[in-house]
Structure 1
Amino acid sequence: MSRYPEVKWAQRADKVFITVQLSDSKDAKVNLEPEGVFNFSGTVGTGNTHYELKLDLYDKVIVEESKINVGVRSIFCILEKAEKVWWKKLLRGDGKAPHYVKVDWDKWVDEDEDKGAGNLDSGGMDFSNFGGMGGMGGMGDMMGGMSGMGGMGDMMGGMGGMDEFEGSDDEGQEATKQADKAEGDAKPDEHGAGTSEKKEAEAST
């Protein structure tokens, strides 16, 4: 029986950041569709526990300009929005976000503070393009069997075009105290796109 990995998200006016929190994943496959459908699957551990999820995103994305980094501790994706507008929430529909989808407070900024993706610390990750790997099927096949992903950086070096990012974020994927505090309430995922919701989330813990 499949399990759901924990997912964290944040956004800017033109991008959505999705982090799948899954350490040492094997056979990791990510499929992104222009209509805003995000699929992930992978296995973990000696028992090959299977994880998978499907996210129907709030709006459309540009697959060819979206980027992905598969690391030892997580799979980090930068999705390019088709329209440069702030999403009210991550997922379409009227229901609440699933319990495993949480706000990534480490990457979150409020709409009035948004200065573009350049203020995100991406830790010198090497990104590959979703649309530049022979389609999404090719991306999944390339990821298959790359447990640990220690050589991913060398393999994908120079393909990301993400020179504006500096620092070390891949090594800081573990939830911080602030994130743990804020994530006690899943409501910000569904409705949190600004300061008031952020304060409510922090006050409710």
Structure 2
Amino acid sequence: MPANTAPIKWAQRSDSLYVTISLPDVKSESITLTDDKLVFTGTSGANEYACDFEFFKGCDAEKSTYKVLPRSVQMFIVKAEEEEEEFWPRLLKDKAKEKNQVKIDWDKYVDEDEEEEAGGFDTSGLEGGQGMGGMPGMGGMGGPGGPGGGMGGMPPGMDMEALMAQMGGMGGMPGMGGEGGMGGMEEMMAKMKGDLENKGGDEGEDSDDDDLPDLEES
């Protein structure tokens, strides 16, 4: 049995597209984006869905991302860089497919004259999504939620202690503790710790008697 046609909604800005596949609880999805084409297959409920179409103009797959959400599959697709960014008259190169498969996403739509006031798309809901150009995370960046993202793209399994040791082996960070690099910083921290301990010890030796006035002799 042939797959059903996946329902598509879209909106645009002069530099990007926001494409939504309006299917809930999508499973076993396969999404392939190239610079000029999008291919999708997946199941929703007991039905299989698919779409295969060519964009009106070129896109930048490396900078694009998608995420499977409970009610839909959403994609932020960056248009290919051109001398003049512009709105497209339609999403697909094929007018017939556009008419039968694609609808305007009125929730995200803005007129070309209103773009500056409206601003770009809100992509916060796509954080932790999959890059469509072979790199994980938003647009291929190792941000929070992306595989291996963590703090600033720290490699998986790398804890702070190991990172400090690795930095020490590389000569430390310039400007931190002078010539010693990270070693100088460690010395400074050890000195601060010692100062605090000494201060605590001195305070412990003080007695309340020091605050009492001298008794006058009768």
TM-score, scaled relative to structure 2: 0.56
Per the alignment, residue 129 of structure 1 pairs with 131
Task: In structure 1, give the amino acid aligned to 2:130.
Answer: S
Q: Residue 125 of structure 2: SS of its match in structure 1?
A: coil
- Cα deviation per residue 1:75-127 (whole Å; 9 max; x = unaligned)? 11111111322111111145462433100010000111112884433453323
Change (3 A) 1:100 1:132: same
Contact 1:128 1:156 in 2 (8 A): no
Three-state SS of the structure 2 residue aligned to 1:97 is helix
Q: Which residue of 1 aligns with 2:86?
A: 85
Report how many residues are paired: 139
Unaligned runs of 5+ in 2: 137-143, 151-218
* Structure 1 stretches of at least 4 aligned residues deviating more than 4 Å after TM superposition: 116-119, 153-159
Question: What is the match of residue 42 of structure 2?
Answer: 42
- Cα distance 1:40–1:131, how it changes in 2: closer, same or farther (>3 A)? same
CA distance in 2 between counterparts of 1:53 and 1:111 reads: 27
Q: TM-score, normalised by structure 1?
A: 0.60
| Equivalent in 44, 54, 57 of residue 55 of structure 2 | 57
Q: In 2 relative to 1, CA 106–43 (structure 1 residues): closer, same or farther, beyond 3 Å?
A: same
- Give the drift of 1:14: 0.2
Structure exhibiting the larger radius of gyration computed from Cα positions:
2
Task: Judge conservation of contact 1:61–1:79 (CA < 8 Å) in 2.
Answer: yes
**C-alpha separation in 1, matches of 2:40 and 2:50:** 5
Q: 1:93 to 1:70 in 2, by over 3 A?
A: same
Could you say if the C-alpha distance between residues 155 and 121 of structure 1 is closer, same or farther in structure 2, counting changes exceeding 3 Å?
A: closer
Which residue in the other structure is 2:69 paired with? 71
RCO higher in structure (CA 8 A, sep ≥6): 1
Work out the CA distance in 1 between the residues paired with 2:50 and 2:97: 19
CA distance in 2 between partners of 1:118 and 1:69 (Å): 22
Residues 116 and 63 of structure 1: CA distance in aligned 2, closer, same or farther (over 3 Å) = farther
SS across alignment from 2:5: coil
Among the aligned pairs, what percent are the same residue? Answer: 35
| d(CA) in 1 for partners of 2:123, 2:26 | 20
Q: Which amino acid aligns with 1:61?
A: C
Asked if residue 33 in structure 1 is aligned to residue 34 in structure 2, the reply is yes
| Structure 1 residue runs without a partner (length 5+) | 135-152, 160-205
Tell me, in whole angstroms, the C-alpha distance in 1 between the residues paired with 2:20 and 2:33. Answer: 14
Q: Which amino acid aligns with 2:9?
A: K
CA distance in 2, matches of 1:116, 1:131: 30
> How far apart, in 2, do the equivalents of 1:97 and 1:130 lie?
22
- Considering only aligned residues, what root-mean-square deviation do their CA atoms show, in Å? 2.7
Q: Which amino acid aligns with 1:97?
A: E
Shift of 1:70: 1.2
The 1-side partners of 2:148 and 2:108 are apart by: 23
Contact 1:30 1:40 in 2 (8 A): yes
